[in-house]
Amino acid sequence: MTTTLTALDGRQLTGNIGAEISGLRLSGDLPDDVIAAIRANLLAHKVLFFRGQDHLDDDEQVAFARRLGPITQGHPNVAPDSEVFDLDYSRSVERANVWHTDVTFVVQPPSFSVLRGLRIPDVGGDTIWANTASAYTALRPELRELADQLWTLHTNDFDYAESHERIERLRNLDPSRFGNGFLPTIYKTRHPLVRVHPETGERSLLLGGFARGFIGFSSSTFEALKKIFQEEITRAENTVRWKWETGDLVIWDNRLTQHYASADYGTVPRQVKRVTVVGEVPVSVHGEHSHALQGDATEFNNRFATVN
């Protein structure tokens, strides 16, 4: 149980995940040593929470996120005109109330996600994060051995790009949700169930809502095994829950976490904006890399990566 908070004013929130950092005004101009301290705590605690960041607009959120690494475009299925993905659930007909790791259907999922709260319900709308590394460590040895061997199919085929007919139905229900150019591209990627973190060396379970099968196994076997692993990930001991306030900013290591946005706020507006940092191709415990089976996400990672 780590307590790395050197050079930052903050407090650890749970035994396995989450820390709240106080007294820091985030910007793209923070000194290098402060950015280094943020990064060290992010690796240690997996999720960092910052209150009172109302001064940030889209450009300033991007400028701060860029201090953590090159920036992706907003989302692989949205026209590449912005680094910011606007999650306005007061307009959307769908909500992210499923456990997931961001954008695992591409071969190079983001390393970090930076999420800013704009419109927050008075009641409900919390987000919960889970530590996928502590979940792996807590597995029985025989389950860890099995997990180390498994490869998983991740896809958005069931979700954003299930069919042209479904996309058009959603567009007709809520044209504003896709007003910036929704792209019906299907992605399929083969990832190891257990990936090795490129910075800390931790092993973690790469699963969540975009995982749709284990390579070489039947769908029924996949569902049974996924239930076992996913229940370990989302055990209360591995989670932290955040009650949002307007102006909050949250950063998480997308390589070591899953998250779930609780859809318990009815028709009340809820809007957050996300910026993601380019990640690495996952590597298994045996040194094998993930690879794409369908869909080219090169633009997602390269469009804004070199912009200063």
Amino acid letter at 128? I
DSSP letters along 101-140, please?
-TTTTSSS--SEEEEEEEE--SS---EEEEEHHHHHHHS-
The pLDDT of residue 79 is 78
4-25: per-residue pLDDT in tens? 566 789 999 999 999 999 999 9
| Residues β-bridged to residue 86 | 273
Average pLDDT for residues 239-258, to the nearest whole number?
Answer: 98
Query: Residues near 223 by Cβ (< 8 Å), separated by ≥ 6?
Result: none
26-73: per-residue pLDDT in tens? 999 999 999 999 999 999 999 999 999 999 999 999 999 999 999 999
The pLDDT of residue 80 is 80
The pLDDT of residue 16 is 97
The pLDDT of residue 124 is 94
101-123: per-residue pLDDT in tens? 999 999 999 999 999 999 999 99
Higher pLDDT pick, 161 / 264: 264
Q: What percent of the chain has pLDDT over 70?
A: 86
Q: How long a stretch of residues is the chain? A: 308
Do 19 and 45 form a contact (C-beta atoms < 8 A)?
yes
- Spatial distance between the Cα atoms of 161 and 83, rounded to a whole number of angstroms: 21
Q: What percent of the chain has pLDDT over 90?
A: 79
Rounded to a whole number, what is the largest CA-CA distance in the chain? 53
Q: How far is CA 138 from CA 16, 48, 82, 132, 292, in A?
A: 11, 23, 40, 10, 30
pLDDT band at 179 (very low <50, low <70, confident <90, very high): very low
The pLDDT of residue 89 is 73
Tokens (6 digits) for 46: 């997996």
In a 13 Å sphere around the CA of 297, the CA atoms on its Cβ side amount to 31
Whether domain 9-302 has CATH 1.25.10.10: the reply is no
Domain spans of the chain, in order of start? 9-302
- Spatial distance between the Cα atoms of 54 and 60, rounded to a whole number of angstroms: 11
The pLDDT of residue 97 is 81
Query: Residues near 166 by Cβ (< 8 Å), separated by ≥ 6?
Result: none
Position 163 pLDDT exceeds 60? no
pLDDT band at 168 (very low <50, low <70, confident <90, very high): low
Strand, helix or coil for residue 170: helix
- Spatial distance between the Cα atoms of 184 and 215, rounded to a whole number of angstroms: 25
261-287: per-residue pLDDT in tens? 999 988 899 999 999 999 999 999 999
What is the residue-averaged pLDDT of the chain? 90
Amino acid letter at 1? M
Do 125 and 267 form a contact (C-beta atoms < 8 A)?
no
65-101: per-residue pLDDT in tens? 999 999 999 999 887 889 999 988 765 545 568 999 9
- Spatial distance between the Cα atoms of 246 and 262, rounded to a whole number of angstroms: 16
Per-residue burial over 190-222, b = 16 or more CB atoms within 10 Å of its CB, e = otherwise: bbbbbbbbeeeebbbbbbbbbbbbbeeeeeeeb
The pLDDT of residue 305 is 77
198-224: per-residue pLDDT in tens? 999 999 999 999 999 999 999 999 999
Q: Which residue has the tokens 């070489």?
A: 216
Amino acid letter at 76? P
- Spatial distance between the Cα atoms of 259 and 97, rounded to a whole number of angstroms: 9
- Spatial distance between the Cα atoms of 277 and 288, rounded to a whole number of angstroms: 23
Position 151 pLDDT exceeds 90? yes
